[in-house]
Amino acid sequence: MKKCIITFLFSLIAFVTANAQSKSNPQLTKLYQNYISVKSALASDDIKKTSMAAGEFLKTSKTVNAKMITEKQLTSLKADATTIAQAKNIETQRKAFYSLSDVMIGLAKENKLSDKTIFVQYCPMAKGSWMSNEKQIVNPYYGKSMLDCGSVKSEIK
């Protein structure tokens, strides 16, 4: 009888945990969508659009419950988004995007940010990774000069 109860409890815990991890959090999903906007703006070499997208990312980051991610991650995301939003040139925006991407990739591995597959991509020339919601490479580090440089390194489902 005890074994049956223990087995049932472990099964219940496993079920609840699996369901909790299979549903994306709306705040983190919005943060991921804002991240994709920053990435796309960088890939199009548009400084103003990138600044605006980073501003939206920053606004969303201020609504993220600190219990969802660590204080260190949240501080880093806010600092990088602020740098990108205030930068006067695209090189500075791209430099801050390295760190922003690293933290966001870590979050994506720990949390469900999207109901769709997230593609982690890497450019060997830039020595940097980023996330995308599509397999096609659209390089944010070089933009139009090397738009398709890179490859998919992993998928987060």
C-alpha closest to that of 126 among 85, 94, 79, 82: 94
pLDDT digits (tens, 9 = 90+) for 72-99: 999 999 999 999 999 999 999 999 999 9
pLDDT of residue 61: 94
Terminal Cα-to-Cα distance of the chain (whole angstroms): 38
What are the distances in angstroms from CA 147 to CA 40, 106, 132?
A: 11, 24, 13
pLDDT (tens digit per residue) in 7-35: 444 444 444 444 344 456 888 999 999 99
Confidence of residue 2 (pLDDT cuts 50, 70, 90): low
pLDDT at 117 over 50: yes
User: Which token pair is 3?
Assistant: 């074994």
Q: In 44-117, which residue ranges form alpha helices assigned H by DSSP?
A: 47-61, 71-86, 90-110
Confidence (pTM): 0.84
